[in-house]
Structure 1
Amino acid sequence: MKNKLTIYILIAMVIGVVVGSLIHNTADTDLIKSFSTNIKLLATIFIRLVQMIIAPLVFSTLVVGIAKLGDLKAVGRVGGKALMWFITASLISLLIGMLVVNVTQPGVGMNPAGVDASGVADVVGKTKGFSLQNFVEHIVPKSVFEAMATNEILQLVVFSIFFGVAMAGMGEKAKPLIKALDVLAHIVLKMVGYVMLTAPLGVFGAIAAAIAINGLDILLVYIKYFGAFLAGIALLWVFLLIVGYVFLGKRLAPLVKRLGQPMLIAFSTTSSEAVFPKLTEELERFGCKDKIVSFILPLGYSFNLDGSMMYMTFASIFIAQAYGIHLDLGTQLTMLLVLMLSSKGVAGVPRASLVVVAATCGMFDIPVEGIALILPIDHFCDMFRSGTNVLGNALATTVVSKWEGELAEEAVEVV
């Protein structure tokens, strides 16, 4: 069934491109807008179905995972290894974006005048309150129920860590609850299989809506920008796969094979969040222990979005190039560090990469309206960012599992 579903998703992508192109080339503006809005509902339904099960999955698996780790010392050890990976991967991703945009210079010669800035207001509006206070409020929940209702993964992680450590400290008394939450986690993972059956419809809706509005011609208009971005993504993939091979050896190939379907769904829906439950399932089947997966993966979704990181430096410096603003090496490195920190404050925010880019441009006196230059092509860039984010988090979880001696020699199936 798994291979059939992948085939259905690929077919849905092709049909989506064909239908979207047909509508874009033959319909008037009003019909295109109406079609895009309505067909995108298919993608919305799929993503909302996935979001529906993220909160109970994160809570149940993370609490059980921490309780199984046993004590605060083990939690700190595993968390420390994960953060070391996250910080290193994030810095290298940002550096790759900075390197590629400086070598290819896609913004040089581009005329920002006359670009439609009507869509900028929505993105810029989200940068208000982008401060230390906003960052802290985004991390620490005032209510676990609010965090669950809004799918704030980072806030859920904070609560679940406290809850899990407290359960571990209770000893035998907590065993019945640990067992109940373990059962809940497996029930939610069973639901994942049912939800994934709707993935082809969601993929079709997302692709058709994007192509109907923008058309494939947008790729030709932005060929220099998009080509340079793809070069950066390719370079990042090479780096991730080399590092993955260093730590995993021959097991890297079967891991990447298992990631095919999750990456395909993330790519076509532009949502790495949409595959969080499926990715959890696949990593456990690959041989990662549930206690490691349930701890590392939610952290990764907040701190380790490699594809998005690469794009942030790339897009920020591109806008500066388009406006003829020279940024010396020191300024660019400062921008890199700002992006490294500020990106952690908007995890889970729609179009988070653009929000961070807009906020960073404002800090370095780069016209925020320059976001309008990349808005038309952003959906297509987001497809590759999302797929790369999935690869980065899967590698992080698998490598930490191996460091902890918790990676099974042979792939195991989850019942």
Structure 2
Amino acid sequence: MLLLIVFAMRRRTLTPWIFVAMVVGAELGFDAPHFAASLRVFSDIFLRLIKTIVAPLIFATLVTGIAGHGDIKAVGRIGIRSLIYFEVVTTLALVVGLVAINLSQAGRGLSVPPAGMAQEITQTAPPATHWQDFLLHVFPENIAKSVAEGQILQVAVFAVFFGIALAGLSPQRRSIVLQVCEGLSEVMFRFTNVVMYFAPIGVGAAMAYTVGHMGVGVLLNLGKLLLTLYGALLAFAALVLLPIALFFRVPVRSFLRAVAQPATIAFATSTSEAALPRAMEEMEALGVPRRIVSFVIPAGYSFNLDGSTLYLAAASIFVAQAAGMHLSVGQQIAMMLTLMLTSKGVAGVPRATLVVLLATAATFGLPTEPIFVLLGVDALADMARTTVNVVGNCLASVVIARWEGEFGTQLPSDAALEAASE
């Protein structure tokens, strides 16, 4: 512990301090669980501050990226390439999750709780999500409502249409609104830099609450599933993300340094939103043009949730195994296609994967009781899958920039450089 603190003091960046806070929080949660549980307020404060940044940041950066570029065809090309990349990678994530859980058979022999224990959550579970519901949900009916509810995808869609409309104005009229949006974007990046100084406290408190509330003994209950999940996520990183990075000539070492802090925040808080502003800054500082960063990463939060998709694949088969059900290859593929749809747009929603899993279980006639066993380890699983979500979206922005031939062609903003140096 002392060595960690000394190392953090010698570094100017926040990442070592965040790591030290995670270790201290975990130890505090183990030694004084009741006190650690009371520290949740500090993590909630940190998350609230971050959530105030997300909507205006996405709106401002998307509008400036679309209207400032002035080439709508280029924006459409980036969107099509991004969607192709997202669907290919998330499909590979589903395959990795399926293979891992079928090899480990983690759900076999699991004693599930009686149905009564699931009553509270079952009452709040929504019906199965169909493609029409998702498509309708993409478009906002009230932008203020979308911002208040944290509907990132709806804010992004509104910003896209706003940016397209702004790009159609004359340069004189467009410049006025564009300057306001550019100024708002710079302010929100600066706001992020200020909030991030509170990150070690918020992250440490989140870790202390998780360990104090759940206890370390939870690892013994569903350890096999967790090992399967973590092993599958590592395999996905090594067998999918790394080859993609090498194929598109991504500077791997520089990328890992840039993604270290957003990934650490995501792992500790289990919230993609908390890492979004810093991830955008770091990728811009790495060499991804802001117009690509501001489009790809927010879109990836709804269409490129690699970690969550992999977890859903493993968890759905885990439920079937725990219930003693045998699913054919065709049934498993059909379930995965359903998950590809129902998993869209779950970023930033607490326990959203469990809600999606409940909806999918209802569609395919799976019992609900085994799903609630996953609640015991959901927080630990959420740490890993959220980290992979963030890393995957950061890599996607670099890949699209490479694909467009624009990686490293534009100087990052002063705010992005300042964030990267911290």
Contact 2:342 2:356 in 1 (8 A): yes
Give 1:413 shift.
6.0
Contact 1:119 1:375 in 2 (8 A): no
Check if 1:278 corresponds to 2:290: no
Query: Number of paired residues?
Result: 404
**Alpha-carbon distance between aligned partners in 2 of 1:254 and 1:395, rounded to the nearest angstrom:** 12
- Within 5 Å, give how 1:6-45 maps onto structure 2: 6-24=15-33, 32=34, 35=35, 38-45=38-45
Counterpart among 14, 22, 26 of residue 5 in structure 1: 14
User: Equivalent residue for 2:121?
Assistant: 122
Q: TM-score, normalised by structure 1?
A: 0.93
- Within 5 Å, give how 1:233-248 maps onto structure 2: 233-238=233-238, 239-248=240-249
Contact 1:288 1:407 in 2 (8 A): yes
Give 1:221 shift.
2.4
User: Equivalent residue for 1:27?
Assistant: none
User: Equivalent residue for 2:210?
Assistant: 210
**Alpha-carbon distance between aligned partners in 1 of 2:377 and 2:236, rounded to the nearest angstrom:** 20
User: Equivalent residue for 1:372?
Assistant: 372
Q: What secondary structure, in the 3-state scheme, does the structure 1 residue paired with 2:140 have?
A: coil
- Within 5 Å, give how 1:31-110 maps onto structure 2: 32=34, 35=35, 38-110=38-110
**Alpha-carbon distance between aligned partners in 2 of 1:365 and 1:224, rounded to the nearest angstrom:** 25
Give 1:346 shift.
4.0
Give 1:171 shift.
3.1
Give 1:69 shift.
3.1
Contact 2:57 2:185 in 1 (8 A): yes
Deviates more, 1:71-80 or 1:91-100: 71-80
**Alpha-carbon distance between aligned partners in 2 of 1:368 and 1:255, rounded to the nearest angstrom:** 41
Give 1:353 shift.
1.1
Q: TM-score, normalised by structure 2?
A: 0.91
Give 1:143 shift.
0.8
Contact 2:125 2:358 in 1 (8 A): no
Check if 1:162 corresponds to 2:155: no
User: Equivalent residue for 2:6?
Assistant: none
Q: What secondary structure, in the 3-state scheme, does the structure 2 residue paired with 1:344 have?
A: coil
Which amino acid letter does the alignment assign opposite residue 275 of structure 1? A
Contact 1:286 1:411 in 2 (8 A): no
What do the CA deviations read for 1:268-322 (whole angstroms, capped 9, x no partner)?
0101111111111111100110111111111011111100000001001001001
Contact 1:124 1:358 in 2 (8 A): no
Contact 2:307 2:389 in 1 (8 A): yes
What runs of 5+ residues in structure 1 fail to find an aligned partner? Answer: 25-31
**Alpha-carbon distance between aligned partners in 1 of 2:275 and 2:285, rounded to the nearest angstrom:** 15
**Alpha-carbon distance between aligned partners in 1 of 2:114 and 2:406, rounded to the nearest angstrom:** 53
Which amino acid letter does the alignment assign opposite residue 371 of structure 1? I
**Alpha-carbon distance between aligned partners in 2 of 1:123 and 1:259, rounded to the nearest angstrom:** 37
What do the CA deviations read for 1:101-152 (whole angstroms, capped 9, x no partner)?
011110112122x468646633662423734454234211001111112221
What runs of 5+ residues in structure 2 fail to find an aligned partner? Answer: 1-8, 416-422
User: Equivalent residue for 1:171?
Assistant: 170
**Alpha-carbon distance between aligned partners in 2 of 1:367 and 1:151, rounded to the nearest angstrom:** 31
What do the CA deviations read for 1:242-262 (whole angstroms, capped 9, x no partner)?
21121124x121011111011
Which amino acid letter does the alignment assign opposite residue 283 of structure 2? L
**Alpha-carbon distance between aligned partners in 2 of 1:120 and 1:144, rounded to the nearest angstrom:** 34
Give 1:38 shift.
2.7
Q: What secondary structure, in the 3-state scheme, does the structure 2 residue paired with 1:405 have?
A: coil
Q: Structure 1 residues 267, 163: closer, same or farther in 2, change over 3 A?
A: same
Contact 1:270 1:383 in 2 (8 A): yes
**Alpha-carbon distance between aligned partners in 1 of 2:412 and 2:344, rounded to the nearest angstrom:** 34
User: Equivalent residue for 1:325?
Assistant: 325
State the 4+ residue runs in structure 1 displaced beyond 6 angstroms: none
Contact 1:284 1:414 in 2 (8 A): no
Q: Structure 1 residues 386, 54: closer, same or farther in 2, change over 3 A?
A: same
What do the CA deviations read for 1:15-43 (whole angstroms, capped 9, x no partner)?
1111111124xxxxxxx3xx465311111
Which amino acid letter does the alignment assign opposite residue 83 of structure 1? L
- Within 5 Å, give how 1:207-356 maps onto structure 2: 207-238=207-238, 239-249=240-250, 251-344=251-344, 346-356=346-356
**Alpha-carbon distance between aligned partners in 1 of 2:116 and 2:23, rounded to the nearest angstrom:** 31
Q: Structure 1 residues 145, 400: closer, same or farther in 2, change over 3 A?
A: same
Q: What secondary structure, in the 3-state scheme, does the structure 2 residue paired with 1:187 have?
A: helix
Q: Structure 1 residues 156, 377: closer, same or farther in 2, change over 3 A?
A: same
Q: Structure 1 residues 400, 99: closer, same or farther in 2, change over 3 A?
A: same
User: Equivalent residue for 1:395?
Assistant: 395
What do the CA deviations read for 1:216-264 (whole angstroms, capped 9, x no partner)?
1211222211111111111111121221121124x12101111101100
Q: Structure 1 residues 134, 38: closer, same or farther in 2, change over 3 A?
A: farther
Give 1:207 shift.
0.8
User: Equivalent residue for 1:141?
Assistant: 140
**Alpha-carbon distance between aligned partners in 2 of 1:215 and 1:38, rounded to the nearest angstrom:** 15
**Alpha-carbon distance between aligned partners in 2 of 1:12 and 1:411, rounded to the nearest angstrom:** 33
